Structure 1
Amino acid sequence: MKQKLYLWIEDYLFFPNTLQQIIAYLLLPLTFIYMLIILLKRTFAKEVDFGIPVISIGNIIVGGSGKTPIAIKLASSYEKSCVILRGFGRASKGLYVISKEGEILEDISISGDEAMLLAKSLKHSSVIVSENRIEAIKKAKELGCKIVFLDDGFSKYNIKKFNILLRPKKEPTNFYCLPSGGYREPKGLYAYADLELKEGVDFNRVITIKKDGNEAILKDKLVVLTAISKPKRLLEFLPKNTQLLAFADHHTFTNDEIKEVKEKYNDYQIITTGKDLVKLEAFNIENLYLMDLDIKIEDSVDFSMMKEYIKTYE
């Protein structure tokens, strides 16, 4: 039942049916208030320069659009880089250094799934989680980092930064802001991006199925076990008969849930994402396979403005 609710909400936010459109219209007064607050915050914010280049990788719709793999791709290209994120789904609060120059210092309960995936993927970078991004930037400088990649930082109007905005391959038919739709900021704010990257045009996801680190072949009975935003997008890369078992974004799996999955899908290949795998590794699921995600950024993408911005701090 919960899985159906998560998928219903996803459809409502991005690709609503007639009933969902009516609900969205009824919530428009709240949406206008929300938009007014967003625009006022942006108008009156004063940018602060922290003396270190800050590259924000964000989007203006709810949920994932490739921020984490893009952050991994870019941060791995710079020495003494640091990725800062809020750390959704973690059991902790406050600022934690999850990894320092590739050395993992905390466990997943402290880090949350995204931060742990970043820490394991970036062998020479640092990863910090904090609700307060300003304090995290100061901590990165204290650690000796030379460049900061801010995960989902577009709405941090008081931080001077270079804004990269990601656009989904398939634009939502629902273009309203919350709560009437899936946009966190008005769609027109794409114009404020320093660099805009659209999936399917500027970058593409490259998926490899792996088992215990080795490339594997998928068979007939498949189920995706995941707790990411917009989980239906995973089915694009898998055979048509694949079932979807979706939990809420950043959900922490329990022993009872995994026991039920093992019993129900014992003769299936259970496929999951990298963000989910860092949580599922503890459950020893024998028939678990990874959708290993890499990002291919097209050669046509012009990063010259970003490089010039970084040079101003050298």
Structure 2
Amino acid sequence: MQQPRFWYAPRPTLAARLLQPLGALYAAGTARRLARPGYKASVPVVCIGNLTIGGTGKTPTALALLERFAGFHVVTRGYGGRLAGPVQVQPRHLAEEVGDEPLLLAPFAPVWVAKDRAAGVRAAEAAGARAILLDDGFQNPEVVKDLSIVVVDAERGFGNGLCLPAGPLREPVAEGLKRADLLLSIGSDAAQAAFAPPLPARVTHLRGRLEVLPMGMGWAGERVFAFAGIGHPEKFFATLRAEGAEVVRAEALADHQPLSPALLTRMETEAMALGAQLVTTEKDAVRLPAAFRPRVLTLPVRLRLDGWAVLDARLRALGI
């Protein structure tokens, strides 16, 4: 979904204030849901989640953990996929079956798609998981978490501080941070300096940034037609420009939007007319039909974390 601009206004606008009663109802519903008991796994469960919807950097955070620590199995809802699971993601699976994020994570660790998170955790345990990485399950009560990492975009922060639909929050910040162990803000040095939320004593604040993964080619001077169906497409376009690319066309799609042959053919035709190369994100690339994959470049990014020692110690304490 394209997020309303008023969600990130410095203070609540009239539209936000009018929707605030609905936001209070949404927050109350989340609180009631979280009060239910969850399944306690026999292995450590690390949850990566957020307090706002979309575009905070959860997937790069998951990739960073999977590259650094062995033994994880990932359990995820598989947003956008039709399979209820639990099912382990295989190379034959398509994004419309299991979602795009599971396909992106699967080369790094076993990934289980399950609408019922507890069933997914049980399947991973039965398959020999030494630890579970629960992707985007912070507001899901079905599984008990041993360590919860809340990821936030340092530039956008928590928006106007209101819950859906008045703002971008899934739950009030104060309530969410009571259950968190680590707050990971991702962004530039300037954005980090401006982001200083009040934190409970038990929450440690880590900082990181997304960096382009070198791929043996430079982007400087490259004319590109960029498209992205992620939480905040403008961040992707800004990254390309920062790398020196000439973004002659930037098309923001809905988050997880299917990439139909008709849509891709139209964008390819426009790109050819502009003398530009199609380029997209890693997460969008896994949704490309096989025939289009050789014709679209990908800009991969990785998380660079300033506080690995802190996270290492937390995971060692869990036996990971």
TM over 0.5: yes
1:58–1:151: 8 Å Cα contact kept in structure 2?
yes
2 CA distance for matches of 1:61 and 1:230? Answer: 12
1:258–1:283: 8 Å Cα contact kept in structure 2?
no
User: What percentage of residue pairs aligned between the two structures are identical?
Assistant: 24
Q: Which residue of 1 aligns with 2:7?
A: 13
2 CA distance for matches of 1:262 and 1:91? Answer: 28
Q: CA deviation at 1:301?
A: 5.1
Q: Which residue of 1 aligns with 2:41?
A: 50
Q: Which residue of 1 aligns with 2:21?
A: 29
Q: CA deviation at 1:309?
A: 2.4
2 CA distance for matches of 1:15 and 1:128? Answer: 38
2 CA distance for matches of 1:205 and 1:164? Answer: 17
1:219–1:269: 8 Å Cα contact kept in structure 2?
no
Q: Which residue of 2 aligns with 1:248?
A: 254
Over 3 Å counting, the alpha-carbon distance change for 1:172 and 1:221 in structure 2 is farther
Q: CA deviation at 1:110?
A: 2.0
CA-based RMSD of the aligned residues comes to: 2.4
Instruction: Tell me the amino acid that sits aligned with residue 236 of structure 2.
Output: L
2:9–2:159: 8 Å Cα contact kept in structure 1?
yes
Q: Which residue of 1 aligns with 2:200?
A: none
Give ranges in structure 2 of 5+ residues lacking alignment: 193-206
Instruction: Tell me the amino acid that sits aligned with residue 129 of structure 1.
Output: V
Q: Which residue of 2 aligns with 1:139?
A: 123
Over 3 Å counting, the alpha-carbon distance change for 1:105 and 1:279 in structure 2 is closer
Q: CA deviation at 1:278?
A: 1.2
Q: CA deviation at 1:38?
A: 1.7
2 CA distance for matches of 1:72 and 1:305? Answer: 18
Give ranges in structure 1 of 5+ residues lacking alignment: 1-5
Q: CA deviation at 1:36?
A: 1.5
Find the residue that maps to 1:239 and give its secondary structure.
helix
The answer to whether residue 98 in structure 2 is matched with residue 111 in structure 1 is: yes
Find the residue that maps to 2:68 and give its secondary structure.
coil
Q: Which residue of 1 aligns with 2:263?
A: 257
Find the residue that maps to 1:250 and give its secondary structure.
coil
Over 3 Å counting, the alpha-carbon distance change for 1:173 and 1:106 in structure 2 is closer
1:208–1:215: 8 Å Cα contact kept in structure 2?
no
What does 1:71-86 correspond to in 2, within 5 Å?
Answer: 71-86=62-77
1:271–1:288: 8 Å Cα contact kept in structure 2?
yes
2 CA distance for matches of 1:24 and 1:41? Answer: 24
Instruction: Tell me the amino acid that sits aligned with residue 24 of structure 2.
Output: F
Q: CA deviation at 1:39?
A: 2.1
Q: CA deviation at 1:65?
A: 1.2
